[in-house]
Structure 1
Amino acid sequence: MIITCDDSEYIAFVKSRLRDQFLMTDLGPLRYFLGIEVSSTSDGFYISQEKYIQDLLARDALGDERTVDTPMELNVKLQPTDGDPLPDPTRYRHLVGSLVYLAVTHPDISYPVHILSQFVSAPTTVHYSHLLRVLRYLRGTITRRLFFPRSSSLQLQCYSDATWASDPLDRRSLSAYCVFLGGSLIAWKTKKQTTVSVRVLRLSYVLWPC
Protein backbone atom coordinates (compact mmCIF):
# COMPACT_ATOMS: atom_id res chain seq x y z
CA MET A 1 0.00 0.00 0.00
CA ILE A 2 1.19 3.53 -0.83
CA ILE A 3 0.06 6.48 1.31
CA THR A 4 0.38 9.92 -0.23
CA CYS A 5 -0.08 12.64 2.38
CA ASP A 6 1.92 15.43 4.05
CA ASP A 7 0.40 14.96 7.53
CA SER A 8 2.79 12.71 9.45
CA GLU A 9 0.38 12.26 12.36
CA TYR A 10 -2.42 11.15 10.06
CA ILE A 11 -0.07 8.74 8.27
CA ALA A 12 0.90 7.22 11.63
CA PHE A 13 -2.79 6.93 12.54
CA VAL A 14 -3.64 5.12 9.29
CA LYS A 15 -0.72 2.72 9.72
CA SER A 16 -1.77 1.97 13.29
CA ARG A 17 -5.36 1.18 12.28
CA LEU A 18 -4.19 -1.02 9.42
CA ARG A 19 -1.82 -2.87 11.73
CA ASP A 20 -4.77 -3.69 13.99
CA GLN A 21 -6.57 -5.39 11.12
CA PHE A 22 -3.82 -6.80 8.90
CA LEU A 23 -0.40 -8.35 9.18
CA MET A 24 1.80 -5.68 7.62
CA THR A 25 5.35 -4.33 7.62
CA ASP A 26 6.29 -0.68 7.35
CA LEU A 27 8.97 -0.44 4.65
CA GLY A 28 9.41 3.29 5.03
CA PRO A 29 9.37 5.82 2.19
CA LEU A 30 8.76 4.41 -1.29
CA ARG A 31 12.04 3.73 -3.11
CA TYR A 32 11.50 0.72 -5.37
CA PHE A 33 8.28 -0.88 -6.54
CA LEU A 34 7.83 -3.44 -9.33
CA GLY A 35 10.93 -2.32 -11.17
CA ILE A 36 10.17 1.40 -10.77
CA GLU A 37 12.64 3.48 -8.78
CA VAL A 38 11.43 6.53 -6.84
CA SER A 39 13.81 9.08 -5.33
CA SER A 40 12.76 12.09 -3.30
CA THR A 41 14.58 15.42 -3.09
CA SER A 42 13.73 18.84 -1.70
CA ASP A 43 12.64 19.89 -5.19
CA GLY A 44 10.41 16.96 -6.04
CA PHE A 45 10.31 13.30 -7.02
CA TYR A 46 12.21 11.39 -9.70
CA ILE A 47 10.82 8.21 -11.23
CA SER A 48 12.95 5.90 -13.35
CA GLN A 49 13.55 2.27 -14.32
CA GLU A 50 17.33 2.34 -14.54
CA LYS A 51 17.84 -0.99 -12.76
CA TYR A 52 15.13 -2.59 -14.90
CA ILE A 53 16.96 -1.47 -18.05
CA GLN A 54 20.29 -2.71 -16.69
CA ASP A 55 18.78 -6.12 -15.94
CA LEU A 56 17.17 -6.24 -19.38
CA LEU A 57 20.42 -5.42 -21.18
CA ALA A 58 22.33 -7.92 -19.03
CA ARG A 59 19.80 -10.68 -19.60
CA ASP A 60 19.43 -10.08 -23.35
CA ALA A 61 22.96 -8.83 -23.94
CA LEU A 62 23.67 -7.14 -27.25
CA GLY A 63 26.76 -8.07 -29.20
CA ASP A 64 28.25 -4.59 -28.89
CA GLU A 65 28.23 -1.48 -26.74
CA ARG A 66 26.92 0.93 -29.36
CA THR A 67 24.30 3.57 -28.59
CA VAL A 68 22.02 5.63 -30.82
CA ASP A 69 20.45 9.06 -30.41
CA THR A 70 16.91 8.13 -31.42
CA PRO A 71 14.84 4.99 -30.72
CA MET A 72 13.70 4.71 -34.35
CA GLU A 73 14.80 6.14 -37.67
CA LEU A 74 12.66 8.80 -39.33
CA ASN A 75 10.03 7.86 -41.90
CA VAL A 76 10.30 4.12 -41.26
CA LYS A 77 7.25 2.21 -42.49
CA LEU A 78 7.57 -1.42 -41.41
CA GLN A 79 5.52 -4.16 -43.02
CA PRO A 80 4.90 -7.81 -42.08
CA THR A 81 6.78 -9.01 -45.17
CA ASP A 82 10.01 -7.11 -44.43
CA GLY A 83 12.95 -9.49 -43.93
CA ASP A 84 12.92 -13.18 -43.14
CA PRO A 85 10.74 -14.74 -40.41
CA LEU A 86 12.55 -15.37 -37.13
CA PRO A 87 13.04 -19.12 -36.44
CA ASP A 88 12.01 -18.55 -32.81
CA PRO A 89 9.99 -15.39 -32.05
CA THR A 90 10.11 -15.96 -28.28
CA ARG A 91 12.92 -13.49 -27.61
CA TYR A 92 11.30 -10.82 -29.75
CA ARG A 93 8.04 -11.15 -27.85
CA HIS A 94 9.83 -11.08 -24.51
CA LEU A 95 11.73 -7.91 -25.41
CA VAL A 96 8.63 -6.14 -26.72
CA GLY A 97 6.78 -7.01 -23.51
CA SER A 98 9.64 -5.59 -21.45
CA LEU A 99 9.67 -2.40 -23.53
CA VAL A 100 5.93 -1.97 -23.06
CA TYR A 101 6.54 -1.92 -19.31
CA LEU A 102 9.50 0.44 -19.72
CA ALA A 103 7.22 2.91 -21.48
CA VAL A 104 5.72 3.53 -18.02
CA THR A 105 8.62 5.92 -17.34
CA HIS A 106 9.96 6.38 -20.89
CA PRO A 107 7.44 8.21 -23.05
CA ASP A 108 10.22 8.67 -25.62
CA ILE A 109 9.92 5.01 -26.66
CA SER A 110 6.13 4.92 -26.78
CA TYR A 111 5.94 5.36 -30.56
CA PRO A 112 8.51 2.72 -31.64
CA VAL A 113 7.19 0.22 -29.10
CA HIS A 114 3.69 0.69 -30.50
CA ILE A 115 5.00 0.01 -34.01
CA LEU A 116 7.08 -3.03 -33.08
CA SER A 117 4.36 -4.59 -30.95
CA GLN A 118 2.21 -5.00 -34.06
CA PHE A 119 4.53 -7.75 -35.33
CA VAL A 120 4.75 -10.01 -32.25
CA SER A 121 2.72 -12.74 -33.96
CA ALA A 122 5.20 -13.14 -36.83
CA PRO A 123 8.35 -11.02 -36.34
CA THR A 124 11.10 -10.91 -38.95
CA THR A 125 14.80 -10.11 -38.99
CA VAL A 126 14.02 -6.52 -40.00
CA HIS A 127 11.62 -6.02 -37.10
CA TYR A 128 14.21 -7.49 -34.74
CA SER A 129 16.91 -5.09 -35.97
CA HIS A 130 14.65 -2.14 -35.17
CA LEU A 131 13.97 -3.67 -31.76
CA LEU A 132 17.70 -3.80 -31.06
CA ARG A 133 17.92 -0.12 -32.00
CA VAL A 134 15.47 0.71 -29.19
CA LEU A 135 17.68 -1.22 -26.75
CA ARG A 136 20.76 0.69 -27.93
CA TYR A 137 18.86 3.93 -27.43
CA LEU A 138 17.94 2.91 -23.88
CA ARG A 139 21.57 2.04 -23.16
CA GLY A 140 22.56 5.60 -24.06
CA THR A 141 19.70 7.21 -22.12
CA ILE A 142 19.56 4.87 -19.14
CA THR A 143 19.89 7.69 -16.58
CA ARG A 144 16.94 9.73 -17.87
CA ARG A 145 14.13 10.14 -15.36
CA LEU A 146 10.70 11.68 -15.04
CA PHE A 147 10.58 14.63 -12.65
CA PHE A 148 7.56 15.68 -10.62
CA PRO A 149 8.22 19.00 -8.84
CA ARG A 150 6.83 19.57 -5.35
CA SER A 151 5.66 23.09 -6.20
CA SER A 152 3.91 23.42 -9.52
CA SER A 153 0.82 25.03 -10.96
CA LEU A 154 -2.36 23.03 -11.42
CA GLN A 155 -2.76 24.15 -15.00
CA LEU A 156 -3.62 21.24 -17.26
CA GLN A 157 -2.06 21.20 -20.73
CA CYS A 158 -2.43 18.62 -23.45
CA TYR A 159 -0.46 18.23 -26.67
CA SER A 160 -1.44 15.93 -29.51
CA ASP A 161 -0.30 15.05 -32.99
CA ALA A 162 -1.06 12.50 -35.66
CA THR A 163 0.50 10.99 -38.74
CA TRP A 164 -1.59 10.86 -41.89
CA ALA A 165 -2.22 7.35 -43.22
CA SER A 166 1.18 6.20 -41.93
CA ASP A 167 0.38 2.48 -41.93
CA PRO A 168 1.14 1.18 -45.44
CA LEU A 169 -1.30 -1.74 -45.04
CA ASP A 170 -4.56 -0.35 -43.68
CA ARG A 171 -3.96 3.39 -44.33
CA ARG A 172 -4.78 4.24 -40.76
CA SER A 173 -3.14 7.11 -38.94
CA LEU A 174 -1.34 7.09 -35.62
CA SER A 175 -2.40 9.50 -32.91
CA ALA A 176 -0.31 10.51 -29.91
CA TYR A 177 -0.85 12.78 -26.96
CA CYS A 178 0.81 13.86 -23.73
CA VAL A 179 -0.77 15.61 -20.76
CA PHE A 180 1.01 17.91 -18.31
CA LEU A 181 -0.24 19.02 -14.92
CA GLY A 182 1.85 22.08 -14.34
CA GLY A 183 5.41 20.92 -15.00
CA SER A 184 4.65 17.23 -14.50
CA LEU A 185 4.02 14.79 -17.33
CA ILE A 186 1.14 12.66 -16.07
CA ALA A 187 -0.21 10.82 -19.13
CA TRP A 188 0.88 9.89 -22.64
CA LYS A 189 -0.17 7.42 -25.31
CA THR A 190 0.38 6.37 -28.92
CA LYS A 191 -2.55 4.67 -30.64
CA LYS A 192 -3.65 3.71 -34.13
CA GLN A 193 -6.87 5.42 -35.19
CA THR A 194 -9.91 3.21 -35.68
CA THR A 195 -10.96 4.71 -39.01
CA VAL A 196 -9.18 4.88 -42.35
CA SER A 197 -7.75 8.23 -43.38
CA VAL A 198 -9.35 9.67 -46.47
CA ARG A 199 -8.19 12.75 -48.29
CA VAL A 200 -11.02 14.77 -49.80
CA LEU A 201 -10.23 16.51 -53.07
CA ARG A 202 -12.09 19.62 -54.04
CA LEU A 203 -12.82 19.81 -57.76
CA SER A 204 -13.62 23.00 -59.60
CA TYR A 205 -15.79 23.00 -62.69
CA VAL A 206 -15.82 25.65 -65.38
CA LEU A 207 -18.86 25.92 -67.64
CA TRP A 208 -18.16 27.01 -71.17
CA PRO A 209 -20.92 28.52 -73.29
CA CYS A 210 -22.13 26.30 -76.15
Structure 2
Amino acid sequence: MFIYKSNSIFLVILIYVDDIITVTHSESISQLVLSLGHHFAIKDLRLLHYFLVIKVHRSTSGLHLSQHKYITDLLACTSMTDSKSVHSPMASGYALSIHDGTPLEDGTTYRSVVGALQYCTLTRPNISFVVNKVCQFMHSPSNVHWQVIKRTLHYLKGTSHYGLSIQATPDYNLTCFSYIPSHLFHCN
Protein backbone atom coordinates (compact mmCIF):
# COMPACT_ATOMS: atom_id res chain seq x y z
CA MET A 1 0.00 0.00 0.00
CA PHE A 2 1.34 3.38 -0.99
CA ILE A 3 0.04 6.62 0.48
CA TYR A 4 0.73 10.07 -0.91
CA LYS A 5 -0.39 13.22 0.85
CA SER A 6 0.37 16.77 -0.25
CA ASN A 7 -1.84 19.79 0.48
CA SER A 8 -5.32 18.79 -0.71
CA ILE A 9 -4.16 15.66 -2.56
CA PHE A 10 -4.48 12.34 -0.75
CA LEU A 11 -3.75 9.17 -2.73
CA VAL A 12 -4.06 5.60 -1.45
CA ILE A 13 -2.79 2.94 -3.82
CA LEU A 14 -2.97 -0.79 -3.16
CA ILE A 15 -0.86 -2.98 -5.43
CA TYR A 16 -1.00 -6.77 -5.57
CA VAL A 17 1.15 -8.37 -8.28
CA ASP A 18 -0.30 -6.68 -11.39
CA ASP A 19 -3.52 -5.26 -9.96
CA ILE A 20 -3.80 -1.73 -8.60
CA ILE A 21 -6.66 -0.27 -6.57
CA THR A 22 -6.83 3.44 -5.87
CA VAL A 23 -8.89 5.42 -3.39
CA THR A 24 -8.61 9.12 -3.91
CA HIS A 25 -9.50 12.30 -5.79
CA SER A 26 -10.35 11.51 -9.43
CA GLU A 27 -8.18 14.25 -11.01
CA SER A 28 -5.15 13.01 -9.10
CA ILE A 29 -5.85 9.46 -10.24
CA SER A 30 -6.06 10.58 -13.86
CA GLN A 31 -2.64 12.22 -13.55
CA LEU A 32 -1.18 9.13 -11.88
CA VAL A 33 -2.56 6.77 -14.55
CA LEU A 34 -1.23 9.05 -17.31
CA SER A 35 2.21 9.14 -15.68
CA LEU A 36 2.30 5.35 -15.16
CA GLY A 37 1.21 4.88 -18.78
CA HIS A 38 4.40 6.58 -19.96
CA HIS A 39 6.51 3.92 -18.24
CA PHE A 40 4.35 0.77 -18.23
CA ALA A 41 1.71 -0.90 -20.37
CA ILE A 42 -1.41 -0.41 -18.25
CA LYS A 43 -5.12 -0.84 -18.69
CA ASP A 44 -7.49 1.29 -16.60
CA LEU A 45 -10.56 -0.81 -15.79
CA ARG A 46 -12.17 2.13 -13.98
CA LEU A 47 -14.53 1.05 -11.19
CA LEU A 48 -13.48 -1.92 -9.10
CA HIS A 49 -15.58 -5.06 -9.61
CA TYR A 50 -13.29 -7.92 -8.51
CA PHE A 51 -10.06 -7.99 -6.54
CA LEU A 52 -8.40 -11.18 -5.22
CA VAL A 53 -11.64 -13.15 -5.77
CA ILE A 54 -13.64 -10.61 -3.80
CA LYS A 55 -16.62 -9.23 -5.72
CA VAL A 56 -17.34 -5.55 -5.14
CA HIS A 57 -20.95 -4.46 -5.64
CA ARG A 58 -21.65 -0.72 -5.54
CA SER A 59 -24.93 0.87 -4.57
CA THR A 60 -26.07 4.28 -3.39
CA SER A 61 -25.71 3.14 0.22
CA GLY A 62 -22.09 1.94 -0.13
CA LEU A 63 -20.19 -1.22 -1.05
CA HIS A 64 -20.93 -4.91 -0.57
CA LEU A 65 -17.91 -7.25 -0.64
CA SER A 66 -18.65 -10.90 -1.34
CA GLN A 67 -16.73 -14.12 -1.96
CA HIS A 68 -19.65 -16.12 -3.38
CA LYS A 69 -17.63 -17.59 -6.27
CA TYR A 70 -14.69 -18.43 -4.00
CA ILE A 71 -17.00 -20.23 -1.56
CA THR A 72 -18.74 -22.04 -4.43
CA ASP A 73 -15.35 -23.20 -5.73
CA LEU A 74 -14.33 -24.32 -2.23
CA LEU A 75 -17.54 -26.34 -1.90
CA ALA A 76 -16.86 -27.97 -5.27
CA CYS A 77 -13.27 -28.74 -4.29
CA THR A 78 -14.46 -30.47 -1.10
CA SER A 79 -17.30 -32.33 -2.90
CA MET A 80 -19.93 -30.44 -0.90
CA THR A 81 -21.72 -28.59 -3.70
CA ASP A 82 -24.91 -30.60 -3.15
CA SER A 83 -24.71 -30.61 0.65
CA LYS A 84 -27.48 -29.34 2.88
CA SER A 85 -27.06 -26.06 4.71
CA VAL A 86 -27.10 -25.44 8.46
CA HIS A 87 -27.98 -22.28 10.39
CA SER A 88 -24.72 -21.81 12.32
CA PRO A 89 -21.04 -22.42 11.55
CA MET A 90 -20.44 -24.39 14.78
CA ALA A 91 -22.60 -26.12 17.35
CA SER A 92 -22.95 -23.98 20.48
CA GLY A 93 -21.23 -25.04 23.67
CA TYR A 94 -18.90 -27.38 21.81
CA ALA A 95 -15.32 -27.49 23.13
CA LEU A 96 -12.60 -28.91 20.90
CA SER A 97 -9.56 -30.72 22.23
CA ILE A 98 -6.39 -32.18 20.78
CA HIS A 99 -7.54 -35.53 22.19
CA ASP A 100 -10.85 -35.57 20.26
CA GLY A 101 -11.40 -38.34 17.73
CA THR A 102 -8.97 -40.26 15.57
CA PRO A 103 -6.00 -38.47 13.98
CA LEU A 104 -6.31 -38.00 10.21
CA GLU A 105 -3.86 -40.08 8.15
CA ASP A 106 -2.96 -37.08 6.02
CA GLY A 107 -3.73 -33.56 7.25
CA THR A 108 -2.95 -31.89 3.91
CA THR A 109 -6.60 -31.43 2.87
CA TYR A 110 -7.50 -30.28 6.37
CA ARG A 111 -4.81 -27.58 6.33
CA SER A 112 -5.70 -26.51 2.78
CA VAL A 113 -9.40 -26.10 3.59
CA VAL A 114 -8.64 -24.29 6.86
CA GLY A 115 -6.42 -21.90 4.86
CA ALA A 116 -9.29 -21.30 2.44
CA LEU A 117 -11.65 -20.66 5.36
CA GLN A 118 -9.16 -18.16 6.78
CA TYR A 119 -9.32 -16.28 3.49
CA CYS A 120 -13.14 -16.32 3.66
CA THR A 121 -13.02 -14.41 6.96
CA LEU A 122 -12.04 -11.28 4.99
CA THR A 123 -15.68 -10.83 4.00
CA ARG A 124 -17.21 -13.29 6.45
CA PRO A 125 -16.08 -12.27 9.95
CA ASN A 126 -19.00 -14.33 11.33
CA ILE A 127 -16.95 -17.51 10.81
CA SER A 128 -13.80 -16.14 12.49
CA PHE A 129 -14.44 -17.89 15.81
CA VAL A 130 -14.80 -21.38 14.34
CA VAL A 131 -11.89 -20.83 11.94
CA ASN A 132 -9.72 -19.79 14.89
CA LYS A 133 -10.72 -22.98 16.70
CA VAL A 134 -9.90 -25.35 13.83
CA CYS A 135 -6.60 -23.53 13.22
CA GLN A 136 -5.48 -24.64 16.67
CA PHE A 137 -5.31 -28.25 15.43
CA MET A 138 -3.38 -27.76 12.18
CA HIS A 139 -0.44 -29.78 13.52
CA SER A 140 -2.55 -32.80 14.47
CA PRO A 141 -6.08 -32.74 13.03
CA SER A 142 -8.60 -35.46 13.80
CA ASN A 143 -11.84 -36.68 12.27
CA VAL A 144 -13.74 -34.62 14.88
CA HIS A 145 -11.92 -31.43 13.82
CA TRP A 146 -12.70 -32.29 10.19
CA GLN A 147 -16.41 -32.62 11.09
CA VAL A 148 -16.32 -29.07 12.50
CA ILE A 149 -14.86 -27.86 9.20
CA LYS A 150 -17.55 -29.72 7.26
CA ARG A 151 -20.26 -28.08 9.38
CA THR A 152 -18.73 -24.69 8.59
CA LEU A 153 -18.82 -25.57 4.90
CA HIS A 154 -22.49 -26.60 5.27
CA TYR A 155 -23.12 -23.17 6.81
CA LEU A 156 -21.30 -21.40 3.98
CA LYS A 157 -23.35 -23.41 1.47
CA GLY A 158 -26.53 -21.73 2.67
CA THR A 159 -25.00 -18.29 3.17
CA SER A 160 -22.55 -17.99 0.27
CA HIS A 161 -24.20 -14.75 -0.86
CA TYR A 162 -23.49 -13.08 2.51
CA GLY A 163 -20.67 -10.58 2.62
CA LEU A 164 -19.35 -7.43 4.19
CA SER A 165 -21.25 -4.18 3.69
CA ILE A 166 -19.47 -0.87 3.95
CA GLN A 167 -21.87 2.03 4.26
CA ALA A 168 -21.16 5.43 2.74
CA THR A 169 -21.23 8.25 5.26
CA PRO A 170 -20.25 11.93 5.02
CA ASP A 171 -17.28 11.61 7.40
CA TYR A 172 -16.19 8.20 6.21
CA ASN A 173 -13.06 6.65 7.72
CA LEU A 174 -12.05 3.12 6.90
CA THR A 175 -9.18 1.40 8.64
CA CYS A 176 -8.43 -2.10 7.49
CA PHE A 177 -5.89 -4.68 8.58
CA SER A 178 -5.68 -7.92 6.71
CA TYR A 179 -3.58 -10.99 6.11
CA ILE A 180 -3.68 -12.35 2.59
CA PRO A 181 -2.31 -15.89 2.31
CA SER A 182 0.32 -16.67 -0.31
CA HIS A 183 -2.03 -19.26 -1.81
CA LEU A 184 -5.79 -19.36 -1.62
CA PHE A 185 -6.33 -23.12 -1.49
CA HIS A 186 -5.10 -26.18 -3.26
CA CYS A 187 -7.58 -28.43 -5.02
CA ASN A 188 -6.45 -31.77 -6.43
For normalisation by structure 1, the TM-score amounts to 0.70
Alpha-carbon offset, residue 64 of structure 1: 4.9
**Percent sequence identity over aligned pairs:** 36
1:3 aligned partner? 22
Corresponding residue for residue 192 of structure 1: none
RMSD: 2.0
Among candidates 121, 131, 147, match of residue 103 of structure 1: 121
Tell me, which stretches of 5 or more residues in structure 1 are unaligned?
155-180, 189-210
The 3 A distance-change label for structure 1 pair 14 and 64 is closer
Larger radius of gyration: 1
TM-score (norm 2): 0.78
Contact 2:87–2:155, Cα closer than 8 Å, also in 1: yes
CA contact (8 A) 2:65 2:123 kept: yes
Q: Structure 1 runs of 4+ off > 6 angstroms?
A: none
- 1:145 corresponds in structure 2 to 163
Q: Distance in 2 between matches of 1:140 and 1:73?
A: 16
**SS state of the match for residue 87, structure 1?**
coil
Amino acid aligned to 1:50:
H
Q: Aligned with 1:147: secondary structure?
A: strand
Judging changes above 3 Å, is the alpha-carbon distance between structure 1 residues 26 and 187 closer, same or farther for their aligned structure 2 residues? closer
Query: CA separation in 2, counterparts of 1:23 and 1:31?
Result: 21
Q: 1:134 pairs with 139, 152, 156, which one?
A: 152
**Paired position in structure 1 for 2:66:** 48
The number of aligned residues is 159
1:70 aligns with 2:94: no
- For residues 76-97 of structure 1, the C-alpha deviation after alignment (integer angstroms, 9 at most, x for no partner) is 1111111111112111111000
Deviation at 1:185, TM superposition (A): 9.1
